[in-house]
């Protein structure tokens, strides 16, 4: 059995990322970074066996390989088909973010003015389509007030204050969770603002407040994020991430 006495912050984050998919059922899980990939695969190996997972390129895995590993496949999902899945809604994506505001608007495009940015990143990628079509969560490996900002420079991922309640085209918008190296959050605060669900063991409310530009609802009352079970630790350490890549995202 794996030791539960030396549980790292990264391992707590991996389980919090897995819980993003609790109850997801038979949909495509699309995690976009090592930690959220570990999380999605952990969910598939524990409570969510019907999740569909791809190799990040064009193949659907039949089995659940370690990070960077290969596995037998069960199907084909080239990029053009991913857009069909997006439009179908049968998907939950976990994207990264350069900025997130209190209503869940997200930016991964660029900083500064639209037509003459001060720093160029990816452009909006699939963020606008993801956020209006299906469940979207975010993983932030370094929770800072630069990321959790009052106003994002460019809205790539749509936040709750951009939803037009009179237009049913927005009815599938659903920002499910934000998991960071400090805690687990959602947008169930007043007016769909960011709310603290739990803080990771050892993290204080003051530390989160210091590293967030806006007020997070329920911060003082947040529970402690649960620890991994012995079985989850075994899967993380021995099966999914034996090379300990998770520590490069969240140092212990």
Partner 1 sequence: MRDKRMSLDEVVGELRSGMTIGLGGWGSRRKPMALVRAILRSDLTDLTVVSYGGPDLGLLCSAGKVRKAYYGFVSLDSAPFYDPWFAHARTSGALVAREMDEGMLKCGLEAAAARLPFLPIRAGLGSDVPNFWDGEMRTVASPYPDADGRTETLMAMPALNLDAALVHLNIGDRHGNAAYTGVDPYFDDVYCLAAERRYVSVERIVETDELVKTVPLQSLLLNRMMVDGVVEAPNGAHFTLAGDSYGRDEKFQKHYVQSAKTPEAWQQFVDTYLAVSEDEYQAAVREFAQEAKK
Chain residues that interact with partner 1, rule: CB under 8 A: 57-59, 76, 78-80, 83, 86-87, 109-110, 112, 114-129, 131-133, 154-159, 162-164, 166-170, 172-173
Which residue's CB is nearer to partner 1, number 26 or number 76? 76
In the complex, the smallest distance separating the C-beta of residue 134 from partner 1, rounded to whole angstroms, is 10
User: Cβ closer to partner 1: 123 or 202?
Assistant: 123
Nearer to partner 1, 83 or 145 (CB): 83
- Nearer CB in complex with partner 1: 78/242: 78
Q: Where are the alpha helices (DSSP H) in 47-202?
A: 79-88, 127-133
Of 48, 59, 58, the closest CA to residue 92 belongs to 48
* CA–CA distance, 129 with 82 (Å, rounded to integer): 11
How many other β-carbons are positioned within 10 Å of the β-carbon of residue 66?
17
In angstroms, give the least distance from the CB of 108 to partner 1: 9
Classify the C-alpha dihedral 189-145-175-60 as positive or negative: negative
CB of 159 to partner 1, least distance (A): 8
Q: Please state, in angstroms and rounded to a whole number, the distance separating the CA atoms of residues 98 and 190.
A: 24
The nearest distance, CB 209 to partner 1, in angstroms, is 28
Q: How is residue 148 written in tokens?
A: 């959790």
Tokens representing 115 are: 């037509």
CB 9 within 8 A of CB 224: no
- CB nearer to partner 1: pick between 49 and 172: 172
CB of 169 to partner 1, least distance (A): 5
């Amino acid at each position: 059995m794996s030791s539960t006495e030396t549980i790292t912050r990264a391992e707590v984050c991996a389980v919090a990322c897995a819980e993003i998919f609790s109850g997801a059922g038979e949909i495509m899980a699309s995690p976009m970074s090592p930690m959220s990939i570990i999380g999605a695969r952990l969910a598939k190996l524990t409570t969510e066996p019907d999740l569909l997972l791809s190799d990040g390129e064009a193949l659907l895995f039949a089995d659940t390989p370690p990070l960077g590993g290969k596995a037998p496949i069960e199907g084909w999902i080239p990029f053009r088909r991913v857009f069909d899945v997006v439009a179908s809604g049968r998907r939950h994506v976990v994207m990264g973010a350069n900025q997130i505001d209190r209503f869940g608007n997200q930016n991964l495009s660029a900083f500064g003015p639209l037509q003459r940015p001060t720093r160029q990143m990816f452009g909006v990628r699939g963020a606008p389509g993801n956020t209006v079509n299906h469940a979207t969560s975010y993983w932030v490996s370094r929770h800072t007030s630069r990321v959790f900002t009052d106003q994002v420079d460019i809205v790539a991922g749509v936040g709750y204050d951009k939803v037009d309640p009179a237009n049913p085209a927005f009815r599938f918008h659903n920002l499910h969770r934000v998991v960071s190296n400090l805690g687990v959050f959602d947008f169930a605060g007043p007016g769909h603002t960011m709310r603290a669900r739990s803080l990771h063991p050892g993290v204080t409310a003051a530390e989160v407040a210091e590293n967030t530009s806006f007020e997070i609802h329920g911060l003082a009352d947040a529970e402690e994020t649960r620890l991994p079970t012995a079985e989850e630790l075994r899967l993380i350490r021995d099966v999914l991430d034996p090379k300990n890549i998770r520590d490069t995202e969240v140092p212990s």
